[in-house]
Structure 1
Amino acid sequence: MTKYMKPYAGWIALGIGCSAAEAVFELLIPLVMSDIVDVGIATGDQSYILRKGILMVVMAMVSLCFGLGAAACSATAGMGFGANLRAAEYDHIQDYAFSNIEKFSTASLVTRLTNDVNNMQMTLMFGMRLLVRAPVMLVCALFLSIRISRQLSNVFLVALPLLAVAVGLILSKASPMFRAMQEKTDALNLVVQEDLTGIRVVKSFVREDHEREKFAKRNLDLKSNAQRAFGMVVINMPIMMLIVYGTIIAVMWFGGQMVYAGTLEAGKLITYFTYITQIMISLMMVSMIFMMMTRSIACARRIREVLEERPAIDNDRAVTDTDENGNAVPAEVKDGSIDFDHVSFKYDPQSPEWILRDVNLHIRSGQTVGILGGTGSAKTTLVSLIPRLYEATEGTVSVGGRPVADYTMEHLRDQVSVVLQKNTLFSGTIRENLLWGDPNATDEQLWAACRSACADEFLERMPDGLDTDLGQGGVNVSGGQKQRLCIARAILKRPKVLILDDSTSAVDTATDAKIRAAFSSELKDTTKLIIAQRVASVCEADLILVMDGGHIVAQGTHAELMKNSEIYREVYESQQEGVSIDG
């Protein structure tokens, strides 16, 4: 964590200095007040009282200025540290593979980026002030009080050990409670995220009451855990106040007797009371910051888990080529050819179940390949290995004649465009979403891509056209319109490989045919892999793969498969019967 504080080391040092100076000036004020009582009032010297009074005011103003400086420095350092930590965590998450994200859950990662980081930055902000101010005041006030009366200071021999034991016991109990509280926060955020993301499903199935109950249970769990954790912390205050007031009563009792006996001056006793208060306040501040640190330590562990998680897929095996000037450059994808050489895959290395098993496949650059298969036949898994969304467990996947691991993920994924089953659009305008495909695309290029994806049909009816606001997640367009926009976005990349994962399922047959025709004419050199449920969507493909149980059980053209594949023939005939019935 210290490296994220490093850019603000100067602010931290300045803040510590200001906090220490503020505490010192506050501690000197009671000594001046003691002189006013014991000298000025005792002798009736009004000019002495006035001079000392002005000195107290000046010292108070100086202390105030140092306090303001300490507050400004701590705010700058704390917020800056939080911003650096949040940015580092977010950047690291961007390098995660799907398996890394699944390990933490999205809700937990959001909590660690927001709630946990906020706790860390607040601890630094208050810690800069309290962890400096409190020890300085404690040590200096203790030294000055002993200097006033060594005999009276024996009271601290009882009070300080009692405080230390009480704080230690409370901290030992509170620490595991705070970690559990953060986990309960994760669980609550998960429910909220799922409900808000799937609100249409919740309402369509009339499951509002069920989701309310689920939320209420998670909310109650968090409340109960937080009450226990903070209840343990709150106990600290009455215990400390009991010890503080007990100490003040003892000093009153013994100090009053000393004043009566003439062994201690009244002004010194008043100053002593001030120092007792400052000592006890310092101890309370120290215990409070320890409580904050107990919670922040739990947060720091969770943040460290994210930062120390090694991405399952990285660029460690990427190789370099040499350009015309002899300089080393990252390997480039030369064409859209794809090869699977004895490829097997499973999500968990410890799992006995293979998702893909011994897949061998060669696809020439520019071919159109259709992929058919039932649910769970691993169609999506197969194409996910091409852009390295997942890593093959065994065997080699190659693109452009080279293993995919030879490329940096940036160069590989820049040439492999994917339209996933779940179409995702982001808040903003249609133009902003399309520019993900090519940030430098002109309006002409944007409209050309939309025409290829048959998105121009509805865009031309919208008053703002490309500048239409989509709302969060593209709620202002239908499922079919969203699919077509996602296809247009992928086309704008002009990739060497285009993967369509059942991405025309929400469009009608005529529109599906238009999109495929546009691919054939405008993306001739692009290798196109089309996962579909309808045979009609792939029957004109150069190569059709039939998958079942993680294996390619048949491959060939439509005519070849009608002759040689019983599975393909049954699917085709059943769909044709459905068409006849509909007719």
Structure 2
Amino acid sequence: MPHKRRTHEKPENMKKTMRQLLSYMAAYKWGFVIGIVCAVASVSIAVIGPKITGEIITEIANGFMNKVQGIGGIDFDAIKKTCAILLAIYAFSAGMEYAQSFIMATVSNKIGYRLRAQMSEKIDRLPFSYFDSHSRGDVISRFTNDVDTMVQSLNQSLASLVSNIVRIVGYLWMMLSISWQMTLLALLIIPLSLAVVIVITKNSQRFFLAQQNSLGLLNGHIEEMYGAHEIVTAFNGQKKSIEKFEMYNGQLYDSAWRSQFLSGLMQPMTMMIGNLGYVGVSILGGYLVLHQVIAIGDIQSFITYTRSFTQPINQIAQSMNMLQSTMAAAERVFAFLNEPEVLPDTKNPVPVAFEGKPLIQGQVVFENVRFGYKPDKIVINDFSMFVRPGQKIAIVGPTGAGKTTLVKLLMRFYELNGGAIYIDGHDTRTFKRKDLRSLVGMVLQDAWLFEGTVRDNLKFGDPDASDEKMKRAAKMAHVDHFIETLDNGYDTMLSEGSANVSQGQRQLLTIARAFLSDPKILILDEATSSVDTRTEVLIQKGMDALMEGRTSFVIAHRLSTIRNADAILVLNEGDIVEIGDHESLMRRNGFYTKLYNAQFSSEEE
């Protein structure tokens, strides 16, 4: 199910997100402290520079006037010493800034690494219902775009914010040391600049969050359409796909344009206000020099401070914009990390093996099972069934009857709304999930293989299996001949999406993988739906041999393939409507007979 677009544009709880972010950063507090100290040291020493430059100008001007009056000249030795001090100050400042950049980059990327690691661990603890309501692209966007936004902000904005606050304080102190009158005039621009910043920040905040949400939706659509490119093309769905892409792209463009436009207004607006203050200071400074209140070099120093005074305000405004985007990204990341997890495993789990020998025989009991993907939409009602070890149970029924859902519940992919499922008399909730799933081998309708060698894909079922055992499993699945015809045999690389093998071959490989895992319980969900009739017969023989002594659940629409099942379970709308073997069900002339005759007639046609 695609992820639904969030209707709100502002963070649901900004304070909560901020507290969680600060709590998360606490583990790296000393790195941030040292980085910020370096930034403060760099800025503090650099603030003195314009004042010293002004003293050089004053020395030159006074020396020139003395030379004109014939009472002395320019003291170049004093100027050289002052220039040396100035160079040392700027060198120290540059060194501290480099140290700050190195430390902040290291710490912020460690946070990004830790966040992604925790999200990677979290994704394995999320219930399947989470992925029913969130697209893969949206989840990927949280791992990539949102975490990257947080890392960049912590790397750049945090130190920049502190540095610029120190600059403002330092500039203000130096300005006061030169002239309080000129400082008072310069300070008149601050309320106006702050008002502009507050107004723009308040209005841009909602667009930054909308931008992050739109980016997640767009990524989800692209990933979905790319993954199903052949299907989209086959059904001439390009136009609809492009229209949907253009809608999401338009939403992203609109929110990104508005957020960037508003944030881009800050610099020109504050610069204009700063220039007004600069003109006023220049006029007042000239007046004070004429009345010998300040030295001529102090005008240059003060003008430099005045021109620089608005830059930290601009940069703070930009940092605030970046922090707004960071809070939107952090809210999405922490929302993912705060998602309710699957119920924890029991503290006293039932063992499934002892000294390498299995303890489970494969008896399965469904007792009054009740389940719905949503509490108000129940798909399985009061389902009960007893399955002896080694029995082959076929599950048939129309689409939506609950066939696949039933085996997902056996694997404990979802928690029951009522009732219980037992294996060898033990409630499945008394097993560790890992142990429970190790008992079951699954072959799904959607044949999944990852990018890697054929050997790696087969041994995914049992990483410790020997090559001999692997090849025996491939032979039982009747896929060994196909593998041997490949250029590199079992070491042949499968491309992303396994595009270099056919759908039927992919299905055969997944069946071989299930064989290799040597499970006590088998689940075959439309396992032969993508192979030809001849291959299906061969697979059926191999599966019959494999299922000997194992409890098996076979879900199939091809009813001819499950005639030899010990029991056929006929489901309709979440309820058992019939149960029995093929002959008894056909004699009953009920729901199963109608399904079988309808399929037989369609196959003949």
TM-score, normalised to structure 2, is 0.90
Question: Would the alpha carbon gap of residues 276 and 109 (structure 1) be closer, same or farther in structure 2, given more than 3 Å must change?
Answer: same
Q: Which residue of 2 aligns with 1:343?
A: 369
CA contact 2:352–2:360 (8 Å) conserved in 1: no
| Conservation of the 8 A alpha-carbon contact between 2:351 and 2:431 | no
- What are the superposed Cα offsets for residues 233-264 of structure 1, whole Å, 9 maximum, x if unpaired? 11111110011111111110111111122111
Counterpart secondary structure, 1:206? coil
Deviation at 1:395, TM superposition (A): 0.8
DSSP 3-state at the match of 1:385: helix
Q: 1:107, 1:190 within 8 Å by CA — same for their partners in 2?
A: yes
Superposed CA RMSD in Å reads: 2.2
CA distance in structure 2 between the aligned counterparts of 1:46 and 1:157, rounded to whole angstroms: 36
Which position in structure 2 is the counterpart of 1:468? 492
Does the CA contact (< 8 Å) of 2:395 and 2:569 recur in 1? yes
> 1:160 & 1:139 partners in 2: Cα distance?
13
Partner of 2:438: 414
Give the conservation status (yes or no) of the 8 Å contact 2:345–2:431.
no
Aligned-residue offset at 1:570: 3.2
Query: Is residue 218 of structure 2 the alignment partner of residue 188 of structure 1?
Result: yes
Q: In structure 1, the residue corresponding to 2:365 is in which secondary structure?
A: strand
- 1:87-102 residue pairs with structure 2 within 5 A? 87-102=117-132
Q: Paired residue for 1:481?
A: 505
Q: Partner of 1:354 in structure 2?
A: 378
Q: Are residues 336 and 226 of structure 1, via their aligned partners in 2, closer, same or farther at CA, if it must alter by over 3 Å?
A: same
Answering whether residue 175 of structure 2 is matched by residue 145 of structure 1, we say yes
- Which residue in the other structure is 2:13 paired with? none
Q: Matched residues in 2 for 1:9 and 1:333: separation?
A: 50
The question of 1:315 aligning with 2:335 is answered no
1:126 and 2:156 are equivalent in the alignment: yes
| Deviations 1:58-79 (CA, angstroms, capped at 9, x unpaired) | 2111111111111111211121
Q: CA separation in 2, counterparts of 1:488 and 1:509?
A: 18
Tell me, yes or no, if the aligned pair for 1:333 and 1:412 is still in contact at 8 Å.
Answer: no
Instruction: Show the counterpart of 2:3.
Output: none
Structure 1 residue corresponding to 2:548, chosen from 513, 520, 524: 524
**2:101 alignment partner in structure 1:** 71
Distance verdict in 2 for CA 1:324–1:209, change over 3 Å: closer
Pairing of 1:159-174 with structure 2 (within 5 A) = 159-174=189-204
The one-letter amino acid paired with 2:570 is: V
1:198-213 pair list within 5 angstroms: 198-213=228-243
Cα distance change on mapping 1:109 and 1:65 into 2, 3 Å? same
In structure 2, distance between residues paired with 1:199 and 1:122: 34
**Aligned residue for 2:461?**
437
What's the CA shift for 1:324?
12
Q: Does 1:228 align with 2:272?
A: no
Give yes or no for contact 1:372–1:379 (8 Å, CA) kept in 2: yes
1:37 maps to 2:67: no
1:409 Cα deviation after fit:
1.4
Corresponding letter in the other structure for 2:474: C
2:486 is paired with a residue whose SS is: coil
Shift of 1:177: 1.1
Aligned to 2:329: 299
Q: Provide the secondary structure at the position in 1 that maps to 2:447.
A: coil
Distance 1:461 1:321, change over 3 A: closer
Please say which of residues 380-389 and 126-135 is displaced more in the overlay. Answer: 126-135
Question: Which of 13, 18, 31 in structure 1 is aligned with 2:38?
Answer: 18
The verdict on how the C-alpha distance between 1:180 and 1:324 changes in structure 2, with shifts beyond 3 A counting, is closer
Distance 2:401 2:489 in 1: 40
Q: Deviations over 1:148-198 (max 9, x none)?
A: 111111124421111111111111111111111122112212221121011
Residue 113 of structure 1 is matched in structure 2 by 143
Give the match for residue 560 of structure 1: 584
C-alpha separation between the residues in 2 aligned to 1:394 and 1:555?
22
Distance 1:558 1:218, change over 3 A: same
C-alpha distance 323-207 of structure 1, shift in aligned 2 (>3 A): closer
Secondary structure at the aligned position of 2:548 is classed as coil
Q: Shift of the alpha carbon at 1:486?
A: 1.1
Match of 2:595 among 566, 571, 576: 571
Q: Which 10-residue stretch deviates more, 136-145 or 32-41?
A: 32-41
Deviation of the 1:540 alpha carbon: 0.9
The answer on whether the counterparts of 1:343 and 1:358 sit within 8 Å (CA) in structure 2 is yes
- C-alpha separation in 1, matches of 2:158 and 2:267: 22
Q: Does the alignment pair 1:449 with 2:469? A: no
- Structure 1 pair 379/338, CA: closer, same or farther in 2 (3 Å)? same
The 2-side partners of 1:80 and 1:390 are apart by: 34
2:571 to 529, 538, 547: 547
Question: What CA distance in whole angstroms lies between the structure 1 residues aligned with 2:226 and 2:81?
Answer: 67
CA contact (8 A) 2:349 2:432 kept: no
Structure 2, unpaired ranges of 5+: 1-20, 64-73
Relative to structure 1, is the Cα distance of residues 480 and 321 closer, same or farther in structure 2, using a 3 angstrom cutoff? closer
- How much does 1:307 deviate? 1.0
- Report the Cα distance in structure 2 between the residues aligned to 1:576 and 1:251, rounded to whole angstroms: 95
Is the contact between residue 453 and residue 490 of structure 2 (CA under 8 Å) also seen in structure 1? yes
The 3-state SS of whatever aligns with 2:378 is coil
**How many Å apart are 1:499 and its aligned residue?**
0.6
CA contact (8 A) 1:317 1:405 kept: yes
Q: 2 CA distance for matches of 1:110 and 1:146?
A: 52
Q: How far apart are the structure 2 equivalents of 1:68 and 1:577? A: 79
**SS of the residue 1:477 aligns to:** coil
1:135 to 165, 175, 185: 165
1:465 & 1:57 partners in 2: Cα distance?
A: 68
Aligned in 2, Cα 1:281/1:260: closer, same or farther, shift over 3 Å?
same
Match of 1:246 among 250, 265, 276: 276
Give distance in 2, aligned partners of 1:400 and 1:166.
Answer: 71
**2:427 aligned residue:** 403
CA distance in 2: counterparts of 1:273 and 1:223, whole angstroms? 41
Alpha-carbon distance in structure 2 between the residues aligned to 1:333 and 1:515: 29
| Pairwise CA distance, 1:558 | 2.1
**Contact 2:392/2:547, CA 8 A, preserved across alignment:** no
Q: Identify if the C-alpha distance between structure 1 residues 392 and 323 changes in structure 2 by more than 3 Å, giving closer, same or farther.
A: closer
Deviation at 1:321, TM superposition (A): 5.0
- Greater CA deviation, 115-124 or 461-470? 461-470
Question: Distance between the aligned counterparts of 1:302 and 1:426, measured in 2?
Answer: 28
Length-normalised TM-score, structure 1: 0.94
Runs of 5+ consecutive residues of structure 1 not aligned to the other structure: none
Q: Secondary structure at the match of 1:151?
A: helix
Separation of aligned partners in 1, 2:93 and 2:52: 15
- Once the two structures are TM-superposed, the CA of residue 228 in structure 1 deviates from its matched residue by 1.0
Partner Cα separation in structure 1 for residue 550 and residue 147 of structure 2: 45
Contact in 2 for aligned 1:38/1:266 (Cα 8 Å): yes
Give the corresponding residue for 2:71. none
CA distance, structure 1, for counterparts of residue 239 and residue 298 of structure 2: 68
- C-alpha separation in 2, matches of 1:447 and 1:541: 28
Alignment of 1:473-512 (within 5 A): 473-512=497-536
- Residues 577, 221 of structure 1: alpha-carbon distance in 2 compared, 3 angstrom cutoff: closer
In the alignment, structure 1 residue 56 sits paired with structure 2 residue 86: yes
> Which stretch shows the higher mean deviation, 562-571 or 255-264?
562-571
Question: Match of 1:62, as an amino acid?
Answer: F
* Residue 8 (structure 2) aligns with: none
Aligned equivalents of 1:221 and 1:289: distance in 2?
25
Cα deviation for residue 33 of structure 1 reads 1.6
